[in-house]
Copies of this chain bind each other. A is one copy, B any other.
Amino acid sequence: MINEKMYCLGSQRSEIRELFEYAKRRKAEIGEENVYDFSLGNPSVPCPKEVNSAMASLLDSENPVALHGYTSAEGDLNARMAIAEYLTKLHGLTVSASDLYLTAGAAAALAATLTALVTPGEEVIILAPYFPEYRVFIERCGGVVKEVGCEQTSFMPDVAAIADAISEKTAAIIINSPNNPTGAVYSADVIRELSEMLRRKSSEYGHSIYLIADEPYRELVYDGIDVPFIPCYYEDTVVCYSYSKSLSLAGERIGYVLVSPGANESRRVYSAVCGAGRALGYVCAPSLLQKILPYCTGKTSDINVYIENRQLLFTNLKKYGYDVLRPDGAFYLFVKSPVDNAHTFSEMAKRREIIIVPSDSFGIRGYVRISYCVSTEMIKKALDAFAALARDVGLKGDNTNG
């Protein structure tokens, strides 16, 4: 007697993981330096120095019983106060410690939020292309996934299509900006349009439709672009944040749920998030990680590396003739597959030792995702292979280049 759904989830690796494991094997065969692995979204830039120095100083100075002991389930008060103060200052919306629930990263934040908001049989809308685990989290808590495609070319939310997909059973919509896998950052205009539509629909159906804003890439934006803070636009918002990317702490599992203080039932939603965290076995977020937050809030890893990587890849891939969306944020390049089937293209890339992810598992066909959270040196070495791959598929690049 084993839960077959869980067996399937555990025995079938995600396609991203499969490709990552392939890259590992291939590196062992032909040498690490000869494989261009763009499969995973694992930060390649070290954490800011404040992270390790805060850890070292806490280990040195704090009573270990308190340092490593249980915090309250919602998280260390000092950490929550520091985050609340930071968010209030940054966004001009008053956030309190009591609006924040610290979590083991964004995945835990999403799992708790969905469990809190979704009663089995209710619907959650996700925008394709999307992070594949959304589907896993929604279905695990008995929710029904409704996929809505984004605007083609810009990959902004298609508000009219979302409106069409909303029913009386819609509990929530997940948005993710800066976006994985497209790198798109949703503009204030589209967020405003989305908010107005959701207010109309919430009133039509007589219950709040929540916007769940999954924001692990908030700080990773380029050319000074602004990432709208959703609670300033739509009151019934729950933000799921992670320090995985901003502080390069993906393995440490630290992040938070912010229940918008303006939400209609903000106290009830907050309690439900706490209840969900409890029911999912999250006793508290890792305590040492919580306790460094007052020293690290507002810091980021050196994202200049990602800026350089993005420029290098984007410029050259365009030059070779690829159809590439210019990403405003995150560390992904979303490239139109030059052949009919993105899987075929990914296989062709493998022959040039390039590991890239077909878009099918993100809920859309015909693209590949290139993670550029890698060393700049690897990208430089990979460019010739990308050029050769372009020739393999008959792309017509800029003639000034071999």
Q: Which A positions have Cβ atoms within 8 angstroms of B?
A: 1-11, 40, 42-47, 51-52, 55-56, 59-60, 63-65, 67-71, 104-105, 107-112, 115-119, 122, 133, 136-137, 139-141, 171, 207-210, 248-253, 265, 268-290
Q: Are B251 and A70 in contact (CB under 8 A)?
A: yes
Secondary structure of the A contact surface, majority rule: helix
List 12 interface pairs A-B (beta carbons < 8 Å), by A numbering.
Answer: A3-B116, A3-B276, A5-B275, A6-B115, A9-B279, A42-B70, A46-B65, A65-B248, A105-B281, A251-B284, A251-B290, A286-B289
- CB-based contact A286/B137 at 8 Å: no
The count of identical subunits is 2
Most chain B CB neighbours (cut-off 10 Å) among A250, A251, A288: A251
Q: How far is the CA of A272 from the CA of B65 in the complex (A)?
A: 35
Q: Which residues of B contact A105 (CB under 8 A)?
A: 281, 283
A116 to B2, CA, bound (A): 6
Contacts of A270 in B (CB 8 A): 10
Residues of chain B with a CB closer than 8 A to A286's CB: 104, 251-253, 286, 289
Instruction: Take A1-B117, A52-B64, A65-B248 as given contacts and tell me if A282 and B10 are in contact as well, using a CB distance cutoff of 8 Å.
Output: no
With a CB–CB cut-off of 8 A, which chain B residues contact A52? 59, 64
Q: Sorted from nearest, which 3 A-B pairs have the closest CB atoms?
A: A10-B275, A111-B281, A251-B287
What residues on B are CB-neighbors of A56 within 8 Å? 56, 59-60
A1-B122, A43-B69, A117-B2 given; A281·B250 CB < 8 A = no
Known contacts A7-B268, A116-B6, A287-B251; is A282 also within 8 Å of B108 by CB?
yes
The answer to whether A248 and B111 have CB atoms under 8 Å apart is no
Q: Which of B68, B104, B274, B284 is A248 in contact with, Cβ under 8 Å?
A: B68
Query: Is A280 within 8 A of B283, CB to CB?
Result: no
- Cα distance, A276 to B8, chains bound together (Å): 10
Among A65, A68, A272, A282, chain B packs the most CB atoms within 10 A around the CB of A68
Distance to closest chain B CB from A94 (angstroms)? 23
Which of A7, A43, A47, A139 gathers the greatest number of chain B CB atoms within 10 Å?
A7
| Nearest chain B CB to A13 CB, angstrom units | 9
Partner of A65, one of B11, B43, B107, B281: B43
Looking at the assembled complex, report how far the CB atom of A248 sits from the nearest CB atom of chain B, in whole angstroms: 6
Task: Provide the residues of chain B in CB contact with A271, threshold 8 Å.
Answer: 7, 10-11
Report which residue of A4, A11, A40, A69 has the largest number of chain B beta carbons within 10 angstroms of its beta carbon: A69
What's the Cα separation between A25 and B46 when bound, in Å?
42
For A2, list chain B residues within 8 Å (CB).
Answer: 116-117, 265, 268-269, 272
Chain B: CB-nearest residue to A247: B68
A389 to chain B, nearest CB (A): 27
Residue among A140, A171, A209, A273 with the most chain B CB within 10 A? A140
A187 to B151 CA separation, bound complex (whole angstroms): 65
Closest to A64 in B: B46
Taking a contact as CB atoms under 8 Å apart, the answer to whether B275 and A8 are in contact is yes
- Smallest CB-CB separation from A56: which chain B residue? B59
Query: Which residues of B sit under 8 angstroms from A10, Cβ to Cβ?
Result: 116, 270-278
Task: Output the nearest chain B residue to A278 by Cβ-Cβ distance.
Answer: B9
